[in-house]
Amino acid sequence: MSYYNSKALNSNFEKVEAQVRESLHKVGFGILTEIDIQQKLNEKLAVEFHKYKILGACNPKFAYEALKFDSRIGTMLPCNVIIQELNDGKIEVAAINPIASMSAVNNEDIERVAIEVSILLNKFIASLED
């Protein structure tokens, strides 16, 4: 089982990022955090890196359900989605596979929530278009 699901698009970074935000919203996710890795690596290490953003996506309903089952599950939230520029000029969008990540918890209730979240994130990835 892969720890992520991804799709590469023939578009520019900014258009893909806008589409990602809109598509996540359509399946019930908001963005809680955002890290511009390219900017941070340049700022902290003075290195050049390709365009790369991490968006911390959260579906409040499922986050609440998971937190009711295990209050420490917050250590594994939010669901990270990355947008990165590939060497061939394509833009890759990848989302965590919550089933894979939550399997470490070994809790059937959490597993059921992870399955539902996985369905939504897979729908989100499938909806992305060039």
pLDDT digits 0-9 by tens, 70-114: 999 999 999 999 999 999 999 999 999 999 999 999 999 999 999
Average of per-residue pLDDT across 33-43: 98
Q: Is the CB of residue 94 less than 8 Å from the CB of residue 85?
A: no
Residue 63: pLDDT over 90: yes
Residue 127: pLDDT over 90: yes
Average of per-residue pLDDT across 22-28: 98
Average of per-residue pLDDT across 28-48: 98
pTM attached to this predicted model: 0.95
Residue 124: pLDDT over 90: yes
CA 126 to chain centre: 13
CA distance 119 to 2: 14
CA 57 vs CA 20, 32, 50, 66: distances in Å = 11, 6, 22, 15
* pLDDT of amino acid 88: 96
* pLDDT of amino acid 15: 98
**Across all residues in the chain, what is the average pLDDT?**
97
Residue 1: pLDDT over 90: no
The three-class DSSP label of residue 127 is helix
Strands 79-85, 30-36: pairing is: unpaired
Residue 3 DSSP label: S
* pLDDT of amino acid 58: 97
